[in-house]
Structure 1
Amino acid sequence: MREREWDTAVRGPLASGAPVLVLVEGEAGTGKTRFVQWLLALPELGRAPRLTVNFKASGASIVHDYPPAKGTASAGPEATAVRRSGSLQPRALRPGAPATPSWLAPLAASSLGELASSLGTGAPVLLVAEDVHRADEQVARALRTLLADPPAGLRVVLSYRPEDLARPGLVLGAPVGYPAELPVIRLRLGALGEAEVRRMAVEALGEDRCSAPFLARLHERSGGIAQVVADLLEELKAAAPLPRSGTAKAGQKRFTARDVDEADVPVRLAESVVGRLAALDEEPRRVVWAAAVLDESLSEDDLASVAGLPTGSIRAALMTALSEAVLHEPGPCRYGFRVPMAAAAVYHLIPGPVRRELHGRAAEALASRRPVPWARLAHQQKASGRTADWLESVENAAREAVEAGDYALAIGLLEGTLAHSDVRQPTRARLALMLAQSATRGLHSDKTLEVLRRVVDDRALPAATRGEVRIELGKLLLVVARGNEARAELRAAVDELSNRPALSARAMSVLGVPYWPGSGPLADNLAWLQRAETAAAGSGDAALQVSVAATRAAVMVCVGDPDGWRCLEQLPRESDDPRILQHSAWGLCCAANAAIWLGEYAKARELQAEGMKLYARSEVPFAEQVSRGTSLLLDMETGHWAGLATWARLYVAEAGEVLGATGEAMLVLGLLALAKGELDQVDTWLSGAGLSGDGSPVPRVAAASGGRIRLALAREDLTAAAREAAEAWARLQAASVWVWAAELAPWAVEATVRFGGLDTAQEMVDEFAAGIESRQAPAAAAALMWCRALLAAAHGKLLEAADYFRRARKCYQALPRPYEAALVAEAGGRCALRGGLETTTGLQELSAATHELEALGATWDAARVRAELRAHHSTQLPRPPGRPGYDERLSPREQEVAQLAGDGLSNREIAATLYLSPRTVEQHVARAMRKVGALSRHDLARKVRNGEPEG
């Protein structure tokens, strides 16, 4: 925060009462006015008279401020004046204002020069003059005179734009004879850093909508100028406003770097640079045009070459552009716009023929550099109409980017090029294949999918080329949770590649993965894998054979086949072929993700670490994105919740326009929100496209369905809970991989039982048990024990149910799954208490569950268990007469209700959680708000969490 810097630099000297001069230097938009507002709000400066002068193009406004009399409210502006003909003439004081002090009397004279003689009292006085670069010579001379011999107690703050000083380096137009005893402090307000720009963006748009690429580009294109940042954010906010809750929802607009590139130049910035440009003669203007065309910082020779000016003219033209502050010198002997975005405002004013001519010369200049900057050269060639040269440069640039591992750059170049109608065969085929291959390795966007779709729909392309591109398109569609579309593309690719068995094997291998809806039953997937292995064996391609073997190993692990671990061990870890390392890494990382759904958490961590090492050796950037999603899921399952929601939100934000593995992060956020009772946020995160049943990975969707069922049960919406359970169960039946039911089955069975479908629930449990028989899936085994406990409880066999719950708890503790272990302890304790034969054990189980849930941060669940304990104690222990005396302190019940209300639960939801009536909850909320002085339910929870006085 800049306020801290200001506080350190000037607050002490200004508050001391001794004479001091503060020079506040900053270009337009860097925050000088904000500094003055901060300064004038300082309480220690409000006790002395002060004079504020704001020099404007139309004149100077003056505000006289007087300290309030003791015991009165702070006084506002006492008088204002405007400058006319170089003098400062005061207007009448407001009614009731104190008589004008002697030190203000000289303002009626023709200048500030006589102010010095009025300050003989030595009383502290503050003089603030904003934008003194606009002051005329008469006023500037008066200020010089005043500062050459400042009276005791005079504190002066002058702000100015260095680029607009009449004489560069001289704030008041001429040197000032400052006395030796006068401290002179220069405070330079420069560009904002990345952290400050991020803070502004998050405040304006919401944290979940600000991707890392967006923030980086916002800082870059705005030059860090505060006013430009603020104006850009206002434009973006108006184009895609926040929802009323102020938080971005899954699937909502998340800002990307492209949004900054496509935003209009803010009006203030555009008018400023265009106004300065209009004052230039022809040759300086051409230099500025050249800078706008190249849109980067340039050397003097570059500017001369592109502007087409002779050597003898460029120096004078450049000096003029610099002196008029149209161009700046961002680095030694480099020249460009202070705000890079300003180049666009200038560019659009360049006449078309001139613009094309400038682009042509820019292309020639770039082509002569070594190494050739192919990407920038391509842009200049395209703008100058040199289509053949442009396509050649794009291809060179993309190939160079791929070789360097910069797939994002390659994708951006190729997307834009393939969208252009001038790209013909065979160039189109080569570029399309390069884009498809880059997209599966790099960070792709929705635009990538659109371009590839147009490519595979182009019947002019050879069938084999379409098929090869279609494989990559299918793989991308799987990543972005559009499984049904992906499988259709992959099947079409198999047909198109009938004469290319090696390529066809790649498509068949992907079709062998049962992870997505519509890909089953499992027998069909295994058949595709067998066909892929046969084709790969006959191809003689070692990399292809490893690719198919990695897929086979990952599939066997994900379905709980014990032989999968042996297959993983056989994947090569050493090779000179980076493709082989990439395929092995892919198999290991996929198996790591699969191991999480099985409950093999230690193996998951080992496989992920090994896979990431191989990926690092083969330089695949997208793997890190996938790995982060896996890590988040692993931490949630194993109870490492500290800071987890923050990391998950950061990951979703950083993904920006990247379509990929954010589904795990949204699942984590949804389930954490559920455990904390933030029920409105559960809907937000679990309703995203990556967690729906249409095309997302089946185990991930099953886990999300479990969360949605819990949410419906919490809201007493049994119909919605049972419907979600039935739909989710049908998806698992279609996939026929029952180890994936671990996160769904207990909630689906409970919803079905509570809806009255006990027989259906029994059939579900039997099907689940048969499906995981002979499978290595400890999480599913624990979930099955939980389901059997639910059935026993539904049949009234409470002690049997309690025993099943305890066995399930031991299973979950061994995994470890501390959250689920606490939940089944709660359920077992309830059964024990209701059975009436194990009261002590039941109370111990509920108490243990409470402590474990609180340790995790599952505040909603903990409140529910505490309510159960309290309800039991209230029926078992004699209650003393009268109400407990809490006076103005919150009672324990009021504290629970306050916390849940602040977490977003409605009165009805709180009532269901705590086993109260909605009317009782309403009364608790009202009393709690009154006691702590809260203005809203959110404010109530904040005050309770922060431990503010409860009364």
Structure 2
Amino acid sequence: MGSAGDILAPRFVGRDREAATLREALARSEPVVLLIEGEAGIGKTRLVQEVLRSDPRTRLLVSCPPYSQPFTLAAVVDALRAAVDDVRRLSLSPLTGALRPVFPEWTGHLPPSPEPLDDSAAARHRLFRALAELIDAVGVSLLVVEDAQWADPATIDLLLYLQTRPVAKLSLLITCRTPDLARLRLVPGTIRIRLDGLTVGETATLVSSMLAEPPVSEAFAGFLRAGTDGVPLALEETVRLMHARADLTRRDGAWVRRHLDQIMVPARIRDGVLERLAHLDGPARAVVRAAAVVGEPVTVDGLVAITGLARELAYDGVTSALGVQLLEERGAGVAFRHALVRQAVYGEIPAHERRVAHRTAGELLEASDPDRFAQLAEHFRAARDLPRWRRYAEQAADAALAAGDETTAVGYLFDLAVGAGLNGAELARISAKITYSAVVGEDRYEALIGCLRRALDACGSEPSEVRGALRFQLARALGNSGDFAQSRRELELAVPDLAHDRTTSMRAMLMLGLPHGMRWPVARHLGWLRRARSLADLDDPAEGTRFLVDHTVGLLGLGEPSGWRQLRLVPDAVTDPRQRDDLARGNINLSDAAMLWGRHRVARRMLDRAAALAEGRGYVRIMDLIRLNRLRLDWHIGAWDGLADRAAELAGNQDIPANTRVEALLVALWLDHAAGRELTRLDEAVRGVWQFAPTSLTAEVAALSALAPLTAGSPDEAVRITDPALEVIRTKQLWLWATELVPVRVAALVAAGRHDEASELTAAFARGIPARHARSSEAAVATCAAFVAEGNGDLERAGTAFLDAARAWNRLPRPYAGLLMRERAARCALAAGRTEAALAQLADVFDRLAAMDARFDATRVLHVLTEYGVKRSRPWWGGRKGYGDQLSPRELEVVRLVAEGRSNREVAEALFRSPHTVSSQLSSALRKLGLSSRHEIPAAAREAGLL
């Protein structure tokens, strides 16, 4: 029996197939894009190092550090700065003058700066072209980007540009953690290599290589594999910890654990890192901690300055840290081998020591490179040096905004607003810079709202201008979080204090003119829109665009036909980036209004325009809103294939504010109702629409809630459920919101024998809608008239009215509503004795409902057909009708991804579906292909030509 000797570096194990794929791809004559994906510590960097060890081409290594706020293009800039000895030796065109702001040390050697561009997107494109020229001039043929999950949005966009430029001669090799792949946009044909954990046998080989090759026992290897999931870094760190604890021994010629059943492998790499750190002496620990504070390669001189150690002690400390492989040499300095190691060390540094070290590191950087705003902000924030944090963080935000990187800028601005102890005026100024289109996460809204409220409470002695500015910013935050009622209250209070600021006053009045959020009558909202018009400066292009968009949205939302005439004045496209953002947001709101009016083709056009305007801007929230509105539009027009999965994904997206998320939930519930599924989340939707203040969704949820008791034969209960929403509509006199509600309520009144009330409500609805404009409301009025006629026993008139309603719904188009009206018309014909024509119509309705997967309604119709002896077979509800034994398009997508070796969860992530849906589609595909196991899919798919 013996103890373990020195621990060796692990051998390269278990990646032969992936390495061969990489080498084969890199050997091609044309450029390639390669992506290596996998979790932290899985060996992405080691694979790249091993493959490139013998690759002769000139490469540029871009390493993306895990900064809390990644700053614009810094990783690429730092890599190029290190790669270029003397920029004067390069043959560069005048275009590279655009690089002066990012390479200030080269200012004297680069061409003159080109003329500034007002359009940030155009400026970014020019910068990308200049960076590409510099990369080419250096002679780089392979760009290696490590840890792309930490890259800032601008770097991600640069990678896409480098992949797609027409004369691309550059190959790209990118590593990224699997959960962050959604941020990357890759060209078709990208070769993706997924790294998984090592097998038990590979685990044994790796561990044995660290222990001078004697094998480890099978039980020990299995134990390690189970505790680490075969992640190489976790395995390596665990073995090092066990070695430090003298917990390894040889027994019968194999390595085993000394107490296999008693000592557990640490659950996290952190334990291994800190155990090794504890075995270092004081100076070495100080060096490692200082390196953790810096967070990037640091020289010994820098470590000396931060730690206060004598140079000899610092050198000895670095040597010790290198010896235990906590640090590794990186250029002229040292850095951590892995981000996880750095995080583990950083987390155990005492708070006071951490603050002092960050201050020193920040001051060193400030003296040597004062333009690195992001790093300086991070250091001085951690040091709690508020004045310098404020200065550098705002400069970092302004630099990001100038580069068109609003997402990064918003991160800095939010942090400043909620944590930098700003006074009221400063807080209002910083909040005004926040682009809400780039904001995600409800917690951010809550934090900012709380901060603005506290500032308002404390600004009693501040000038009225400060109070007005703070209230307006609070109203913006409240409105964007979904609390429209509180937003409107703050706006009314703010307007008197905004008299000095005509533009902000106009914006406040436009917001007060929007119909949602208050139980005001339409006339009151219109009054605010008129006041806003009196302040608008239509000669200012940017202000004119904002006014036209928001004013038109307000008019249409209030049911004013004049909004359609004004819509003609709204431009289709603009060049100014501020106008483009206003126009993108406005087109989304206009698509909302168009759907409310039943103008679905207009809504589709608005959404396409919004998507084009937002393209490349990186606005996650804007894209989420576009997806939400497309979801609702597809529900209306009957494009239901895959709609349930999309609705579930959006309804569960916690980055979308709750009041907006409920729109997706409502679509999911409508689909559940049509399919006859239990509405398990209906109460959640009801709470969601009533949480803050009424909107058009309030009436829609009430209509859906009333259908169950109406169907179950409790019409009075259905009427009661619709009372609150109808009261809102009557108070506001906004009958445009009643399209979904009133037909359900009229049907309930008729079923309850309250015919006069049904007739009166139908008449009021007809009077309240704008004639010849609100097509969905007109279809709803026709539906109500048909219910009233049916309730009065006039079957001929009712049948005709239901057919008229069906035609009105189909013109929108809203085919599901049209089919339900055709069903009612056929039932009237049956009752009137026109059996043959009625049954033919019901058979067609059944086929169409079944094709839409409206199982509840199709089953109801099938019962009638069966009662009259009409043969119609119930469709197989496990999949879409019409594909027979052939794979549906969605099943084919699943088969292709499974053939690549992906798990159900990975397929679900790639296709934005739930794992349950993917499982069902895979089961269906296996049945159709005659297979018994997913493992048979690759060969069978190739044989069938599916790949």
Superposed CA deviations along residues 6-42 of structure 1, whole A, max 9, x for unmatched, are 89979xxxxxxxxxxxxxxx999869xxxxxxxxxxx
Report matched runs for 1:871-882 at 5 Å: 871-873=867-869
Which amino acid letter does the alignment assign opposite residue 862 of structure 1?
A: A
Distance in 2 (CA, whole Å) between partners of 1:127 and 1:496 is 71
SS of structure 2 residue aligned to 1:857: coil
Match of 2:335, SS state, is strand
Equivalence map 1:699-718=2 (5 Å):
699-714=696-711, 716=713, 718=715
Task: In structure 2, give the amino acid aligned to 1:735.
Answer: K
In the TM superposition, what is the alpha-carbon distance from 1:896 to its structure 2 partner? Answer: 8.2
Distance 2:305 2:544 in 1: 55
- The alpha-carbon deviation at position 542 of structure 1 amounts to 5.3
Distance verdict in 2 for CA 1:137–1:734, change over 3 Å = closer
Contact residue 438 and residue 618 of structure 2 kept, 8 A: no
C-alpha distance in 2, partners of 1:897/1:756?
40
The RMSD of aligned alpha carbons is 4.5
Q: Look up the match of 2:430.
A: 434
| Structure 2: gaps (5+ residues) | 1-12, 19-37, 44-198, 218-229, 251-264, 881-918, 931-947
- Partners of 1:802 and 1:831 within 8 A in 2: yes
> Deviations along 1:29-72, whole A, 9 cap, x unmatched?
869xxxxxxxxxxxxxxxxxxxxxxxxxxxxxxxxxxxxxxxxx
* Aligned counterparts of 2:617 and 2:731: Cα–Cα separation in 1: 37
1:506 matched to which residue of 2?
507
1:399-548 equivalent positions in 2, closer than 5 A: 399-420=398-419, 423-425=421-423, 428-444=424-440, 445=444, 446-459=446-459, 460-518=461-519, 520-537=520-537, 543-548=542-547
Structure 2 partner of 1:553: 552
Give the match for residue 669 of structure 2: 670
One-letter identity of the residue aligned with 1:498: A
Q: Indicate the larger mover: 567-576 or 756-765.
A: 567-576
Aligned to 2:630: 631
Unpaired runs of 5+ in structure 1?
11-25, 32-125, 145-156, 175-230, 232-265, 878-890, 900-938
Task: Tell me if 1:839 matches 2:853.
Answer: no
Q: Deviations over 1:263-282 (max 9, x none)?
A: xxx96343222211111122
Cross-structure match for 2:693: 695
Residues 1:946 and 1:352: Cα distance change in structure 2 (over 3 Å): closer
- Contact 2:716/2:749 (<8 A) preserved: no
| Alpha-carbon distance between aligned partners in 2 of 1:855 and 1:515, rounded to the nearest angstrom | 36
Shift of the alpha carbon at 1:449? 2.4
TM alignment of 1:467-866, pairs within 5 A: 467-518=468-519, 520-537=520-537, 543-572=542-571, 577-615=576-614, 622-654=621-653, 656=655, 661-683=660-682, 686-687=685-686, 689=688, 691-692=689-690, 694-696=692-694, 698-714=695-711, 716=713, 718-833=715-830, 835-866=831-862
Question: What SS does the aligned partner of 1:514 have?
Answer: coil
The Cα shift of 1:637 comes to 0.9
**1:677-708 CA deviation, whole Å, 9 max, x = no partner?**
2223452663352x337425x22322222222
Quote the Cα distance in structure 1 between the aligned partners of 2:235 and 2:799: 76
Maintained 8 Å contact 1:439/1:476: no
Counterpart Cα distance in 1 of 2:590 and 2:200: 70
CA contact (8 A) 2:482 2:658 kept: no
Contact 1:693/1:701 (<8 A) preserved: no
SS at match of 1:335: strand
Checking the alignment, whether the CA contact within 8 Å between 1:473 and 1:486 is kept in structure 2 is yes
Per the alignment, do residues 378 and 267 of structure 1 end up closer, same or farther by CA in structure 2, a change over 3 Å counting?
A: farther
- Given that 2:597 and 2:774 are in contact with CA atoms closer than 8 Å, whether structure 1 keeps it comes out as yes
* Cα distance in 1, alignment partners of residues 422 and 430 from structure 2: 15
User: In structure 2, what is the Cα distance between the partners aligned to 1:469 and 1:767?
Assistant: 43
Aligned counterparts, 1:893-908, within 5 A: none
CA shift in 2, pair 1:161/1:477, >3 Å? closer
For residues 294 and 653 of structure 2, the distance between their equivalents in structure 1, rounded to whole angstroms, comes to 29
| Counterparts of residues 919-930 of structure 1 (less than 5 Å) | none
Deviation at 1:643, TM superposition (A): 1.5
Q: Distance in 2 between matches of 1:387 and 1:129?
A: 51
SS at match of 1:680: coil
Q: After superposition, what is the alpha-carbon deviation per residue over 1:557-604, rounded to whole angstroms, capped at 9, x for unaligned?
A: 334444322212213456665444444444433222200111111111
**Which whole-Å CA distance do the structure 1 matches of 2:455 and 2:693 have between them?**
22
Give the 5 Å matches for 1:264-275: 268-275=268-275
Question: 1:836, 1:732 → 2: CA distance?
Answer: 37
Q: CA deviation at 1:759?
A: 2.5
Farther-moved stretch of structure 1 (347-356 vs 491-500): 347-356
Taking a change above 3 Å as real, the CA distance of residues 776 and 841 of structure 1, as seen in their structure-2 partners, is same
State yes or no: 1:870 paired with 2:880.
no
User: Structure 1 residues 463 and 649 mapped into 2: Cα distance closer, same or farther (>3 Å)?
Assistant: farther
Change (3 A) 1:362 1:653: farther
Q: Does the 8 Å contact 2:290/2:357 carry over to 1?
A: yes
Deviations 1:130-173 (A, max 9, x none): 657878999965889xxxxxxxxxxxx99994564799xxxx99
Equivalent residue number for residue 371 of structure 2? 372
The 1:606/1:390 distance shift into structure 2, 3 A limit, reads same
* Structure 2 letter corresponding to 1:438: I
Question: Following TM superposition, by how much is the alpha carbon of 1:769 offset from its aligned partner in structure 2, in angstroms?
Answer: 0.7
Distance 1:333-1:544 versus aligned 2 partners, 3 A rule? same
The secondary structure found in structure 2 opposite 1:679 is coil
Deviation string 1:593-645 (CA, Å, 9 cap, x unpaired) is 20011111111122233344445598866433322221111111111111222
Q: How many residues align?
A: 669
Partner Cα distance (2:513, 2:741) in 1: 24
Q: What's 1:47 paired with?
A: none
TM-score by length of 2: 0.62
Query: 1:928 aligns to what?
Result: none
2: distance between equivalents of 1:555 and 1:138?
A: 73
- Contact kept, 8 Å, 2:529 with 2:554, in 1: the verdict is no
Q: Is the partner of 2:516 in helix, strand or coil?
A: coil
Instruction: Kindly state the Cα deviation for residue 543 of structure 1 after the two structures are TM-superposed.
Output: 3.7
For residue 843 of structure 2, give the secondary structure of its aligned residue in structure 1: helix
Shift of 1:672: 1.7
Amino acid at match of 2:450: E
Residue aligning to 2:24: none
Distance in 2 of aligned mates of 1:300 and 1:828: 86
Of residues 727-736 and 360-369 in structure 1, the stretch that sits farther from structure 2 once superposed is: 360-369
Distance 1:429 1:775, change over 3 A: farther
* Mapped partners of 1:893, 1:802: distance in 2: 27
1:241-277: CA deviation from partner (whole Å, max 9, x where unpaired): xxxxxxxxxxxxxxxxxxxxxxxxx963432222111
**CA contact 1:433–1:465 (8 Å) conserved in 2:** no
Give the partner amino acid of 2:644. A
Is the Cα–Cα contact under 8 Å of residues 789 and 801 in structure 1 kept in the other structure?
yes
Q: Aligned letter for 1:450?
A: G
* Alpha-carbon distance in structure 2 between the residues aligned to 1:158 and 1:725: 57
Indicate how the Cα distance of structure 1 residues 785 and 399 shifts in structure 2: closer, same or farther if over 3 A, else same. Answer: same
Per the normalisation by structure 1, the TM-score is: 0.62
Deviations 1:630-669 (Å, cap 9, x if unpaired)?
A: 1111111111111222223333445526567434322222
Task: Indicate the larger mover: 485-494 or 294-303.
Answer: 294-303
Q: Which has the larger radius of gyration?
A: 1
Aligned residue in 1 for 2:100: none
Alpha-carbon distance between aligned partners in 1 of 2:368 and 2:776, rounded to the nearest angstrom: 61
Counterpart Cα distance in 2 of 1:896 and 1:659 = 32
